[in-house]
Amino acid sequence: MIYSPRVGFLLAVFFMVILTRLQPFAAELLHASPKIKPDYFVSMDGGETSEYAIVVEKETQKLVLYRYDGVYEPVFDVKCSTGEVPGIKTRSGDKKTPEGVYFFTGLFEKKYLSAVYGEMAFPMDYPNLIDQLNGREGNAIWMHGTNKQVKDRDSNGCIVLANKDIEKLSKYITVNRTPIIVTDKIQYTELDDDQTIKEQLMAFLHEWNGALLNGSYERYLSFYDPGTISTIAWWDEWKDIRNELRQSSVPADIQLKKVSIYKHNGVYTALFDQLIQVGKQVQDVGTRKVCLKTDADTIRIIGDIYQSVMPKNSEQKPDNPFLRACYDLKKYYSADQHHSADQDIEALVDKWLTAWKNKDIKAYGDCYASDFRFRQMDRKAWLEKKKRLSQRYKYISVSREKLAVKTGVKTSSATFIQKYKSSGYRAVGEKELIFKRENGQWKIYRERWKKI
């Protein structure tokens, strides 16, 4: 059959109209929620922003950027080059690219690089905790650009991209946060396949965190594999800080934020931001990385390190990032402690005065510690004496002036001018009340009076 030019033109217009109508449906199909995901993603949480992860497939020499924003979605893929020798890197100079879950530890711009590294370079944290446990050695594994054409398996172990591709990728990388997962061949799984282990790992991490906040040394240690760790040198210092916090009555909490979990070769890597909150003050400790293994129904930590930490601004502070954050907070919880104690003690003095004026011996007695003593009288004898006096006088009037409070961790004091007047006695003098904590509350422990 022969078509005229006019018929050909009309057919072309027809197909253009059909394609235009189908374009929205095609776009919707391309961006539909995928039913599968790379098997390395267990959980990704970027907080209020999207979380990104990079997967490198050595077999196809391909790098894929994934975004998680409620669903796992490939953003783009580009050609890459890995080590010229196949297999997993085990030693320096073997020209192999490592396999596992890694994170970028920095960014080198072009002005700091020789031409072979192209426009930029991202150092990776090889050898990571798992590499070290397996005796793998070497260093200086980077993802970088190049000043030549990208060819398959053409590097000494680094991951090499064309300059335009690494520039495009760099916009999605957060140092010490964005993972780069290197594998020989990408394995995929159904979206819900990891739901059970995800819930178990999240529960484990929160129990571990709870043991840090409230548990014993033995309880905290029980979360670790016995072959990985035998002692936690900083625990005694943390225990002293924790006791101070409890005595201050200022609420404290340790928070795990933006928890992401990745897996590779049977090992789970959890990455999260750790924060300490005391009262209304929040201190960022850093980004912590915990490596875990499962055996039957048991989960244990086999590696624990800070991927990034807040800078140390004083040589006198401890090297441990967690303790350092506690010391940074101390000025706040100490201030809150003293401020709160001042208010609590002033309120107790007023309660004590009001109870005596109203001859309310029960409320008056509630102000005293169980081991209160005055001269030869214990608390019981003292309150019996006060009860007799309250029954003797028709009225009692007592007030304070010039209250001064001094707070401490174990004891505090209040001094003031006391003006006392009753139907049978009146006096003005300097009163001093000594307080101690009993069941978390300030109580009068001793008292003194001097007539003026």
Inter-residue contact 108 to 116 (CB < 8 Å): no
The answer to the question of residue 382 being in a domain is: yes
Within-domain flag for 330: no
- Beta bridge pairs of residue 368: 444
Residue 370 burial (CB count, 10 A): 11
* Same domain, residue pair 164 and 299: no
φ/ψ (deg, to 5) at 407: -105, 150
Q: Which residue has the tokens 């098997």?
A: 39
* Confidence at residue 268, expressed as pLDDT on a 0 to 100 scale: 98
H or E element, residue 356:
helix 321-357
Q: Are residues 217 and 299 in the same domain?
A: yes
Which pLDDT value is given to residue 296?
81
DSSP one-letter code for 245: H
Q: Could you tell me if 74 and 24 lie in one domain?
A: no
- Dihedral angle over CA of 366, 367, 370, 372, nearest 10: -140
Whether residue 222 sits in one domain with residue 152:
no
Residues 6+ apart with CB under 8 A from 327: 317, 318
Q: Residue 224 falls within a domain, yes or no?
A: yes
Between 411 and 63, the more confident residue is: 63
Neighbours of 25 (CB within 10 A): 9
Q: What is the pLDDT of the chain when averaged over all its residues?
A: 87
Top pLDDT among 310 and 221 is at 221
Report residue 20 as tokens.
């235009």
Res 192 pLDDT > 90 = no
| Alpha-helical runs (H) found in 144-215 | 163-170, 195-214
Task: List the domain range (segments joined by +) for residue 249.
Answer: 195-310
What was the pLDDT predicted at 4? Answer: 53
Q: How far is CA 396 from CA 237, 414, 420, 433, 450, in A?
A: 51, 22, 8, 20, 19
Domain for residue 342, yes or no?
yes
Report the distance separating Cα 269 and Cα 265, nearest Å: 11
| Nearest partner of 387 among 367, 370, 365, 354, judged by Cα | 365
Do 172 and 49 reside in the same domain of the chain?
yes
Cα→Cα distances 343→57, 224, 271, 412, Å: 63, 43, 41, 12
Give the DSSP H or E segment for 382. Answer: helix 379-392
Identify whether residues 230 and 304 lie together within a single domain: yes
- Please tell me the predicted confidence (pLDDT) of residue 316: 56
Q: Is residue 319 part of a domain?
A: no
Alpha carbon of residue 49 to chain centroid: 17
Looking at the fold, whether 236 and 182 belong to one and the same domain comes out as no
Which is nearest to 7 in space by CA: 450, 15, 23, 282?
15
> What confidence score (pLDDT) does residue 333 get?
64
- 102-129 tens-digit pLDDT: 999 999 999 999 999 999 999 999 999 9
Which of 189, 213, 238 is the last residue before a domain boundary? 189
For range 130-134, the mean pLDDT: 94
Residue 54 in any domain: the answer is yes
Say if 318 falls within a structural domain.
no
Q: Are residues 343 and 221 in the same domain?
A: no
Distance of alpha carbon 123 from alpha carbon 438, whole angstroms: 55
Least confident of 62-76, 234-248, 271-285, 330-344: 330-344
Whether pLDDT at 25 is above 70: no
- Six-digit token string for 123: 């150092």
CATH number at residue 247: 3.10.450.50
DSSP string covering 301-350, please? EEEEEEEEEPPP--TTS-SSHHHHHHHHHHHHHHHHHHHHHHHHHHHHHH
The stretch 213-233 carries a mean pLDDT of 87
Q: Structure pTM?
A: 0.69
179-183, strands of its sheet edge to edge: 72-79, 62-68, 51-57, 179-183, 100-103
CA distance 199 to 190: 16
339-379 residue pLDDT tens: 567 788 899 999 999 999 889 999 999 999 999 999 889 99
Paired tokens of 378 = 């214990």
Distance of CA 432 to the CA centre of its chain: 45
CATH number at residue 117: 2.40.440.10
The number of folded domains in the chain is 4
Query: What 3-state DSSP class applies to 192?
Result: coil
pLDDT digits (tens, 9 = 90+) for 262-315: 999 999 999 999 999 987 788 899 999 999 999 888 999 999 999 987 666 655
**Shared domain check, 280 and 347:** no
**How far from chain centre, in Å, is Cα 243?**
21
Mean pLDDT of 148-171: 97
Written as six digits, the tokens of 451 are 């007539």
Within-domain flag for 328: no
32-69 in b/e burial notation, b at 16+ Cβ within 10 A? eeeeebbbbbbbbebeeeebbbbbbbbeebebbbbbbe
Residues 185 and 53 in one domain: yes
Are residues 103 and 26 part of one domain? no
Q: Strand pairing of 267-278 and 377-378? A: unpaired
Q: Are 141 and 156 in contact (CB under 8 A)?
A: no
119 with 166: CB under 8 angstroms? yes
Residue-wise pLDDT tens digits, 418-434: 998 888 788 999 999 99
Residues 269 and 138 in one domain: no
pLDDT in tens, 198-218: 999 999 999 999 999 999 999
- Pairing label, strands 411-422, 377-378: unpaired
Token output for 387 = 């009860």
Average pLDDT of span 226-254: 82
